[in-house]
Structure 1
Amino acid sequence: MRLYLLFLLMATATVLSPGPGVVMTLSNALRSGRRGTVGGILGIAAGALVVAVISATSLGVLLATSAKAFTVLKFVGAAYLVYLGIRLWRSPALNLSLETDQSADRFGRRFIEGITIQLTNPKVVLFFLSIFPQFIDPTAAYGVQFALLSLTYAGIVVVVHLVYALFAKRARRWLVSERGGRIMNRTAGTTFLFFGGVLATAHR
């Protein structure tokens, strides 16, 4: 697990970047307070674990035995990170929907909503398809590494989204402003461009 620190940084950048999950957490926090975000956040984390199991298990085995597959997915992952970086640079500020829906206040409803968002989020799916397996060391126990990286990602999801929920009210005006949205998107975009370059030059 020599690249565990790099995985932490890349996973954190992915979770921090604006997307459906972040918008849901911020909207729930502004509408119902921090407690109202717990169900959705846990759902997002659980959805990430489901995507990890579906997407990364077979690919991890393939990458352990195929240098060609590793090279192909390495460049696919790098290209996707560059794409995300460019798209974030060009994106407007976040659009937070604050319409009140009393039925959405229930924990179970928001938990399911969080899982659904992750299962249909291409950013998460492609992360586990093309980036995640490359942090698996083929010479070490696969199951242990898979569990550690998957749970690490889910833990990062919970921590980052709780931080978003904590500062939602204070940061709302800044996040949805043209200037704040531009700074946030371009910071995240630059980070993805950097990691895209790092991944493209990575070796086993």
Structure 2
Amino acid sequence: MTLHAVTLYASALLLMAMAPGPFVAALLPRSISYGFRRATPLIWGAVAGDMIWAAAALFGLAAAAQLWAPALTLVRVGGGAYLVWMGWRMLAAPPEAMALGEAGEAGGFRATFLSGLAVTLGNPKPALFYLALLPVFFDIGKLSGGEKILILAVIPPVLLLVLCSYAALAAEAGRRLKTPGGTLWLNRVCGGAMILAGAALAANL
């Protein structure tokens, strides 16, 4: 494994993370409505999901992933249903509750983390990247255990850089838009966006 190959892999991972998809569609409205801090568990769930897909590719579990297809379908549908439910909570919440950013409306750390994990495990984009494209960058059969760990270690900093930037920008936009007259409109737009993201994920679009 060469430094050039690692650099190309990290660059491709960066571009993959930046590309809009079901996860970004879920992250932005949550960050806008609840702020950066309450979006971070969703991000950590995505990081965990990406590392699971990468480990499957690196440690020869790609074939096993095909056997997990029914379970992954349930994960995808469950993650999509959770996003739809969260979107409905946003639509139904009174403007003053959203303005206060109540923890009950935002969901706890564990539920939000599992939502991010489910969205990522059910998302074909990271699955395709790691299972199909990772072998393009590396001869996986010849990698040592340490080299595989290094490849996995690249994932968290790259994803955190991209996804935290998305969340921070969206949270700042939400803070500026949360005026007395704009909160209701903001609730409706963000809730609708999360419902659409959940429906797209469940339908595997």
TM-score higher than 0.5 here? yes
Aligned residue number for residue 135 of structure 1: 137
Structure 1 pair 143–111 and aligned structure 2 pair: CA distance change class (3 A): same
Q: Structure 1 length normalisation: TM-score?
A: 0.59
Judge conservation of contact 1:55–1:129 (CA < 8 Å) in 2: yes
Aligned residue number for residue 121 of structure 2: 119
Letter in 1 for 2:54: A
Spell out, residue by residue over 1:85-130, the C-alpha distance to the aligned partner (whole angstroms, 9 max, x if none): xxxxxxxxxxxx5852745421111100011011101010010111
Aligned residues: 137
Letter in 2 for 1:23: A
Spell out, residue by residue over 1:121-145, the C-alpha distance to the aligned partner (whole angstroms, 9 max, x if none): 1010010111112322469642222
Aligned residue number for residue 49 of structure 2: 47
Identity of aligned residues (%): 26
Judge conservation of contact 2:47–2:156 (CA < 8 Å) in 1: yes
Q: Does 1:157 align with 2:159?
A: yes
Letter in 2 for 1:128: Y
SS at match of 2:163: helix
- Separation in 2, partners of 1:108, 1:139: 36
Gaps of 5+ in 1: 61-96, 174-204
Judge conservation of contact 2:50–2:120 (CA < 8 Å) in 1: yes
Structure 1 pair 166–129 and aligned structure 2 pair: CA distance change class (3 A): same
Aligned residue number for residue 26 of structure 1: 28
Q: Structure 2 length normalisation: TM-score?
A: 0.59
RMSD, aligned CA: 2.6
Note the C-alpha offset of 1:156: 1.1
Runs of 4 or more off by more than 6 Å in structure 1? none
Letter in 2 for 1:133: P
Judge conservation of contact 1:29–1:165 (CA < 8 Å) in 2: yes
SS at match of 2:114: helix
Judge conservation of contact 1:51–1:125 (CA < 8 Å) in 2: yes
SS at match of 1:6: helix
Deviates more, 1:6-15 or 1:149-158: 149-158
Aligned residue number for residue 37 of structure 1: 39
SS at match of 2:20: coil
Aligned residue number for residue 6 of structure 1: 8
Q: What are the within-5 Å matches in structure 2 for residues 182-201 of structure 1?
A: none
SS at match of 2:51: helix
Q: What are the within-5 Å matches in structure 2 for residues 67-82 of structure 1?
A: none
Aligned residue number for residue 188 of structure 2: none
Letter in 2 for 1:115: L
Judge conservation of contact 2:5–2:138 (CA < 8 Å) in 1: no
- Separation in 2, partners of 1:40, 1:152: 19
- Separation in 2, partners of 1:169, 1:48: 24
SS at match of 2:59: helix
